Structure 1
């Protein structure tokens, strides 16, 4: 899933981006309201998280336009503390309203609730249902085996890092497993057939990895 985060505080933007990317979301960042709308019209986003007070166009106007053009969820961030402000934001179509300061983990949980993704990790077009031990591709249950699920979960938890066959045997099959490393190749091949050939990268002579879409 893809998330737009708009805030003119660069430190806040950097921190929130890191938290959401760690959960497997693709993040588009904007430093003002106009840039936020440019991203909204250019990219396919699932959720917009926008600060109320921003240069060029405030978060409420951004929210109003997004809601007029789509059914996408909008979460408003604000330093304002009056109840009337929350009512105003909700009246304009905001789906959620969070006052600053807040812990980034709280925001991630609220965002997941809005997206209906409280129990999963999203990576590209794959959703990992951690509690149900299931893999979904574009909403379709892939009927993954336990090993395939563990393998995909392991790759996403170590996103951006090459994992050797030996490391994968230890992480997925367990330290007490003494099978052939070619077992890994067989399961990766079967997993690719389900999640898509381009999701898992082969690094010849090294191992496998999954990478962010922009890498």
Structure 2
């Protein structure tokens, strides 16, 4: 999992980077809004932690640009304390709003919950151990390639939601990926063979979804 942390407070950024790396995340760091957007659009980022007040482009502007193009979750950090500020941040697309100062451990817990990675999940005949990147079916470990695991993870994080092939290409393969939509179909078919066809639903003309209901 790749996390982008954008904050011009280098001391805080270093602390957060250490916390996330200890939990196994790959961390990208930016100290201004322009650098944050450049890193976001040139890498496949899974979640963004943004400071509101940054040079060049502030966190609100960066969040707005990200949300125009992506479903990636955004956590806004700020020393601003009014309810109006929180409303503005959430209204523009931020998924979480955390006031400074804060305990990095609390941020970590919230991030894991947002990503659906805080625990092992069992549904039907599957068990998905996200922290260890392992999947089991009927008690037996399923060998998934990295891209298959990333695809399953994204489908599960958005369970019950129909995801188009274009969305899956962008969010799993990255915005810079140049390829055909049938790449998604091929990986979906391989994933179904391994985890069971009933766990991923096809919506003709629309895309795919993870089956979030118990049978």
Q: Which runs of 4+ in 1 moved over 4 A?
A: 127-130
TM (norm. structure 2) is 0.58
Q: Which of the pair has more CA radius of gyration?
A: 1
TM-superposed CA distance for 1:69, in Å, is 0.7
What SS does the corresponding residue of 1:4 show, helix, strand or coil? Answer: strand
Q: In the alignment, which residue of structure 2 is the partner of 1:43?
A: 43
Q: Is the 8 A contact 1:134 1:143 kept in 2?
A: no
Partners of 1:134 and 1:57 lie apart in 2 by 35
Q: In structure 2, what is the equivalent of residue 59 of structure 1?
A: 59
Contact 1:135–1:143 (Cα < 8 Å) also in 2: no
Partners of 1:21 and 1:49 in 2: CA distance = 14
Gaps in structure 1 of 5+ consecutive residues: 121-126, 146-215
Change in CA separation of 1:108 and 1:134 when aligned onto 2, cut-off 3 Å? closer
Q: Are 2:138 and 1:144 equivalent residues in the alignment?
A: no
Is structure 2 residue 91 aligned with structure 1 residue 94?
Answer: no
1:21-62: per-residue Cα shift (whole Å, max 9, x none)? 100111100001100000011000010000000000000000
Match of 2:26 in 1: 26
- The count of corresponding residues between Structure 1 and Structure 2 is 134
SS in 2 for 1:106: helix
- Residues 164-212 of structure 1 show CA distances to partners (whole Å, capped at 9, x for unaligned) of xxxxxxxxxxxxxxxxxxxxxxxxxxxxxxxxxxxxxxxxxxxxxxxxx
What's the C-alpha RMSD, in Å, of the aligned pairs?
2.2
- Rounded Cα–Cα distance in structure 1 between residues aligned with 2:113 and 2:59: 21
Per-residue Cα deviation, 1:143-182 (whole angstroms, up to 9, x for no partner): 339xxxxxxxxxxxxxxxxxxxxxxxxxxxxxxxxxxxxx
